Structure 1
Amino acid sequence: MARSTLPLTATQIKTTKAKEKDYKLFDGGGLFLLVAKTGGKRWRFKYRFNNKEKIIALGTYPSLSLKDARAKREEYKSLIANDIDPNEQKKQKKEEVLKVEKKKENTFYKVSQEWHENYQTEVSENYHIKLGRALENYVYKYMKDKPIEDVTRLDLIEILKILKERNLQDTASRVLMIINKIYKYAVTLEYVPHNIVADIEQKNILGKREKKHYPTFAKDKDIKGLLLAIDEYSGDYTTKMALKMLPYVFVRSYNIRYCEWSEIDLVNKVWIIPASKMKTKIEFILPLPNQVIEILEEVKQFTGNGTYVFPSFRAKDKPMSDNTLIGALRRMGYTKEEFVPHSFRAMFSTIAYENMEEHGFSGEVIEALLSHKESNKVKEAYNRASYKKSMKGLINWYSNYLDKIKTTK
């Protein structure tokens, strides 16, 4: 005859004391209280599943009362009757909790910052900074702390609509491009199962996108007026000299502002811009015409002991700010609809293409001077090696062309 177990009482459990060794008090039906030698009391449930004896922890006394421990025992018995192992179910629930917690940790901000950091090696420093600013200005305010798995297409569409209402369709398009890159990264690392950007038809939200070109000057009288206005600029000296050099080299604003003396070779008349500063992530060797060499030799007397060729007028150990050149053009009377620092590139491109018969250089040479990336990798490597002489010839022609315009009555 099987020995029966007397059920435990609340008083018995409360008054029981620790001994030299751990011991058990049985309540029946597999439920027992483990009294540890340290004084702790822990509920346990012993059961058989698939002919194997198992034990599962229920909780500690008095946090878990006798009544509640018995309720758990009955709950687990019901699971076993339905061929469910309580231990496995407990393990699955724990994994689900951890998954939810992990999901909360993987916010859009966290994942996008990971992408942004990893993407740094793919783009120029200036472009990398712009990407960060775009996220801060247009995205994070709407879903910074939201788990990336919980972000919906409607969340992204709402951002696009807000930017469209502000007449910032181009910005909206760029923002969606950035978010698309973030989601590709997130899918790759299994932060999300699917790239939701792929399901958004951009033109249905923003409408047909009209390509906007930078304003520029193509007429001789306008170019002459600009060059003379720069010569007469009465503001900061280094700002004026940067503006004097920019028409002849037509690099991106970032490159002229961050130009370092270590990049300039006055003897060989070249400016070697490192890959980290280039949008193409390829080192760029720009031949310098005599007009630029004269400007640099003059500037070297004033800033040659520092890092930057055109340092900030506020701090000589820092580069010129993004707004300095823009502000100078505004003080000279040019609006953003008329001319911006990037317009020097468009001006060169327009003049160079319109006068190909005169200077005799191909479109590939023009694009090479603009440091535009060639899509064909083999051709790109060949062009970089073969166009050096042609690039020098074209930039000298263009520099003389500008001087001729400025001095012609």
Structure 2
Amino acid sequence: MALTDLKIRNAKPTDKQQKLFDERGLYLLVTPAGGKWWRLKYRFGGKEKSLSMGVFPDVTLKQARERRDAARKLLANGVDPGIERKVQRAGAAERAANSFESVAREWFAKQAPGWAATHADKIMGRLEKDAFPWLGGRPIAEITAPEVLAVLRRVEARGALDTAHRVHQNCGQVFRYAIATGRAERDVSADLRGALPAARHTHFPSVTQPSEVAGLLRALDAFQGTFVVQCALRLAPLLFVRPGELRTAQWSQFDLDKAQWRYTVSKTKTEHLVPLASQVVAILRELHALTGQRTYVFPGRDVKKPMSGAAVNAALRRMGFDTKTEITGHGFRAMARTILHEHLRFPGEVIEHQLAHKVPDALGAAYNRTKFIDDRVRMMQAWADCLDKLKAGAHIIPIRGGTDPALN
């Protein structure tokens, strides 16, 4: 007799497996543990075989019969349904391995060790948010240029044109990796050059007029947040390193007796030396009493990790500064570059080396961490002294042709 839902639900497990037969080879296997598995009994090539049809109640009696009928059609056409299932699964596994997301994550895993953590997070964040939902499951070799353009248009439509260009760039990198690994024949994103409007790049907002610096510095000193963040705010203009390099600074990189900080530049992966002004050393010695036993100079809530990347900008906003139009943690670099060159008259190449920028010289050396080191030591102390005097109400009076301005 054919099975019914009631009979299936009332079937109780025993100490042995039970087979409850339906029709045309379909039966329900009831295990001693209480599991109920659909099976199809059939013959192919003179051999008796069994094919799984799913688990009850996830697969209902009606669905199991539909699967049985589909399998018997294959048999009628001379196809073993068990072999056909293996072929389909292998094809699905291959398509999954060659999907855009799989290739992208493989490419990312190869490249990420050479990137700064913040840079890597931004790339994967863009892919996960703007590309994977629409392209992730598609075989990369089958993706067309219009599909990629549709992804970019969605990003552009929300007003993030610069991000759209970066997604375009990242997609191109993934396609080129797929070509190199034999999973695609061409980079279809290359067909989209010029499809997006040119992005307008803006600089990080910064305070670059000496007359405005005093108020900013006094506001930093008056910050009422945690002592760790307060120290980070006081040091940011004095050191003018990249925000990620400041917040991830480790005590092992500092020699306070020699007034030096050595670390690896996040962008160029080169060693960098920051001479520490006496004011900086004083702040660090005070902070060392609190965090000196930790790895990071500025630990976060989880003391095993550095301070949040958003902490400095969040503190600036708490003090009333607009981080979109006035100042950001990165803006202290522009502040130092502008005032050191235009008002304190330090040579541009000395400033650029201290900023850890690549500045090719006549001998072709792109960067040397100790080049101009005597000038940089003097410059960093002069900069700290200048900020102290500005904070106290002095005014810069540039002396043309010199590097020692007067302040009154």
TM-score, normalised with respect to structure 1: 0.72
Change (3 A) 1:309 1:65: closer
Change (3 A) 1:359 1:393: farther
C-alpha contact 1:271 1:286 (8 A) present in aligned 2? yes
Q: CA deviation at 1:378?
A: 6.2
C-alpha contact 1:123 1:279 (8 A) present in aligned 2? yes
Structural mapping, 1:220-231, within 5 Å = 220-231=210-221
Report whether the alignment pairs 1:408 with 2:393: yes
C-alpha contact 1:288 1:395 (8 A) present in aligned 2? yes
Q: CA deviation at 1:196?
A: 1.3
Q: Distance in 2 between matches of 1:350 and 1:133?
A: 33
Aligned with 2:273: secondary structure?
Answer: strand
Q: Distance in 1 between matches of 2:268 and 2:203?
A: 20
Any gaps of 5 or more consecutive residues in structure 2? 1-43, 50-70, 80-85, 395-408
Q: Distance in 2 between matches of 1:168 and 1:188?
A: 30
Structural mapping, 1:282-301, within 5 Å = 282-301=270-289
* CA-to-aligned-CA distance 1:41-60 (integer Å, 9 cap, x gap): 9xxxxxxxxxxxxxxxxxxx
Aligned to 2:199: 209
* CA-to-aligned-CA distance 1:217-236 (integer Å, 9 cap, x gap): 11223211110001111111
Q: CA deviation at 1:386?
A: 2.5
Report whether the alignment pairs 1:236 with 2:236: no
RMSD between superposed Cα atoms in Å:
3.1
Amino acid at match of 1:194: R
Change (3 A) 1:309 1:382: closer
Change (3 A) 1:350 1:299: same
More helix by share: 1
Aligned with 1:273: secondary structure?
Answer: strand
Structural mapping, 1:301-320, within 5 Å = 301-312=289-300, 314-320=301-307
C-alpha contact 1:214 1:342 (8 A) present in aligned 2? yes
Rg: which structure is higher? 1
Q: Distance in 1 between matches of 2:108 and 2:75?
A: 54
C-alpha contact 1:123 1:280 (8 A) present in aligned 2? no
Structural mapping, 1:43-192, within 5 Å = 102-192=94-184
Change (3 A) 1:122 1:330: same
* CA-to-aligned-CA distance 1:243-282 (integer Å, 9 cap, x gap): 000001111111111111111111221111135xx11111
Q: Distance in 2 between matches of 1:199 and 1:306?
A: 51
Q: Distance in 2 between matches of 1:108 and 1:250?
A: 40
Amino acid at match of 2:356: S
Change (3 A) 1:134 1:67: closer
Among residues 208, 216, 226, which one is paired with 1:218 in the alignment? 208
Q: CA deviation at 1:98?
A: 6.1
Q: CA deviation at 1:95?
A: 10
Percent identical across equivalent pairs?
A: 31
Aligned with 1:139: secondary structure?
Answer: helix
Structural mapping, 1:221-370, within 5 Å = 221-274=211-264, 278-312=266-300, 314-336=301-323, 337-355=325-343, 358-361=344-347, 363-370=348-355
Q: CA deviation at 1:342?
A: 0.8
Aligned with 1:322: secondary structure?
Answer: coil
Amino acid at match of 2:139: P
Change (3 A) 1:67 1:294: closer
Amino acid at match of 1:184: R
Q: Distance in 2 between matches of 1:121 and 1:217?
A: 35
Q: CA deviation at 1:379?
A: 3.1
Q: Distance in 1 between matches of 2:342 and 2:181?
A: 49
Q: Distance in 1 between matches of 2:292 and 2:336?
A: 28
Change (3 A) 1:227 1:298: same
C-alpha contact 1:359 1:394 (8 A) present in aligned 2? no
Change (3 A) 1:171 1:295: same
C-alpha contact 1:124 1:280 (8 A) present in aligned 2? no
C-alpha contact 1:139 1:159 (8 A) present in aligned 2? yes
Any gaps of 5 or more consecutive residues in structure 1? 1-32, 42-61, 72-93
TM-score, normalised with respect to structure 2: 0.72
Q: Distance in 1 between matches of 2:88 and 2:302?
A: 54
| Greater Cα offset, 96-105 or 175-184 | 96-105
Q: Distance in 1 between matches of 2:363 and 2:184?
A: 37
